[in-house]
């Protein structure tokens, strides 16, 4: 049985751990609020680009829609790219493990060998995970800020889009955790390229849009073809950045929940150890009293 000093030392160390997890919980809550705000404010920008691109791609009743290689599915998909967004650090529950497990399952189901796909990894946890398994990593980026700026990922985003344009990859998917709520993150796969969702979704169903946007007519200068050529890569890059902002909000939500759980567990552990300490102390006092009484009886 542990001594009173050992039990008291464990209580003290658990209290210190609780202080740390509580502080981390509060920090994550503050970062979550900023990440949510940034992700939400970026959505209108992406939607407006999508609206313009969709207008050019679909055309109108008098004009035929304009085509572009980034909008067309290729007849044969030889190689697929997966952008996987993880965190740089742990202590965020199942945030990374559930995403990486799902990505690994998809890779094994869809592809016969690593030669059929390539990975673009954001985050140290994902980078180390795939490197350990010897999977093909084409690009990686680690050490992003908690509130990343577009310039931080512009190079990797533009390079990834260029690899599709150059024919290195025939499809590109994004894997990340979509923010649902503070206690819920959804592992999500989103098809980035080709951008063939305009006018319908992946299942061929019609995509309904707000009537105010469908009736808008744009005047393009110098011409729609050049505008589309410039906008499509930027739109694809903005989708990557938007997914990163969403993933960051999910990360802080997961970390806040994990630290809250750790704080509650520390509280329960302190209560248990305090009860054990009090019982051991009471037993020690009782033993001392018995020894005193026994000694007094022996003198009589």
Task: List, for residues 103-148, the tens digit of each pLDDT value.
Answer: 999 999 999 999 999 999 999 999 999 999 999 999 999 999 999 9
Inside any domain, residue 164: yes
Inside any domain, residue 239: yes
Inside any domain, residue 125: yes
Backbone angles phi, psi at 84, to 5 degrees: -115, 120
- Spatial neighbors of 164 by CB under 8 A, at least 6 apart, are 70, 81, 170, 172, 193, 194
Q: Which SS3 state, helix, strand or coil, does residue 77 take?
A: coil
Predicted TM-score of the model (pTM) = 0.82
Whether the per-residue pLDDT at 1 is higher than 90: the answer is no
Domain containing 195 equals: 29-256
Please state, as a whole number, how many other Cβ atoms lie within 10 Å of the Cβ of residue 276: 16
Inside any domain, residue 278: no
CB 152 within 8 A of CB 245: no
Tokens encoding 179:
């923010």
Q: Which SS3 state, helix, strand or coil, does residue 293 take?
A: helix
Inside any domain, residue 5: no
Inside any domain, residue 92: yes
Comparing 4 with 163, the larger pLDDT belongs to 163
Strand order across the 171-181 sheet:
137-141, 117-122, 80-85, 171-181, 184-193
Give the chain's domain count.
1
92 catalytic? Reply is yes
Q: Which tens digit of pLDDT belongs to each residue from 201-253?
A: 333 333 334 444 445 566 767 777 787 788 888 888 999 999 999 999 999 99
**How deeply is 172 buried, as exposed, middle or buried, from its count of CB atoms within 10 A (0-12, 13-18, 19+)?**
buried
Which residues pair with residue 176 across a beta bridge? Answer: 188
Considering the candidates 24, 92, 247, 259, report the single residue annotated as catalytic. Answer: 92
Percent of the chain with pLDDT over 70: 86
Which residue bears the tokens 């908690």?
Answer: 146
CATH code: domain of residue 234: 3.40.1380.10
Inside any domain, residue 247: yes
Inside any domain, residue 166: yes
* 23-56 burial code (b ≥16 CB/10 A, e <16): ebbeebbebbeebbebbeebeeeeeebbebbbbb
């Amino acid at each position: 049985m542990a001594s009173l000093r050992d039990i008291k030392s464990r209580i003290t160390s658990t209290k210190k751990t609780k202080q740390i997890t509580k502080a981390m919980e509060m920090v994550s809550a503050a970062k979550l609020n900023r990440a949510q705000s940034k992700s939400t404010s970026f959505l209108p920008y992406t939607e407006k680009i999508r609206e313009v691109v969709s207008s050019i791609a679909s055309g109108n009743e008098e004009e035929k829609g304009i085509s572009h290689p980034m909008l067309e599915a290729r007849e044969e998909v030889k190689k697929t790219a997966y952008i996987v967004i993880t965190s740089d650090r742990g202590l965020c529950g199942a945030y990374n493990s559930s995403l990486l497990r799902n990505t690994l399952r998809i890779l094994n189901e869809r592809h016969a060998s690593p030669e059929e796909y390539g990975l673009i990894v954001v985050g140290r946890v994902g980078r180390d995970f795939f490197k350990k398994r010897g999977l093909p990593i084409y690009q990686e980026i680690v050490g992003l800020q908690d509130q990343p700026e577009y310039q931080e990922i512009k190079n990797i985003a533009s390079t990834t889009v260029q690899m599709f344009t150059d024919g290195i990859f025939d499809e590109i998917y994004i894997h990340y955790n979509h923010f649902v709520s503070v206690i819920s993150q959804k592992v999500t796969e989103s098809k980035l390229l080709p951008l063939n969702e305009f006018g319908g979704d992946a299942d061929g169903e019609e995509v309904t849009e707000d009537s105010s946007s469908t009736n808008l007519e744009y005047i393009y200068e110098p011409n729609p073809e050049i505008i589309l050529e410039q906008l499509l890569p930027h739109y694809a890059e903005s989708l990557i950045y938007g997914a990163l902002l969403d993933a960051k909000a999910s990360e802080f939500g997961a970390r806040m929940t994990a630290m809250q759980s750790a704080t509650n567990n520390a509280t329960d552990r302190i209560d248990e150890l305090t009860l054990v300490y009090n019982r051991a102390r009471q037993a020690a006092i009782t033993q001392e009293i018995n020894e005193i009484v026994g000694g007094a009886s022996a003198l009589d």
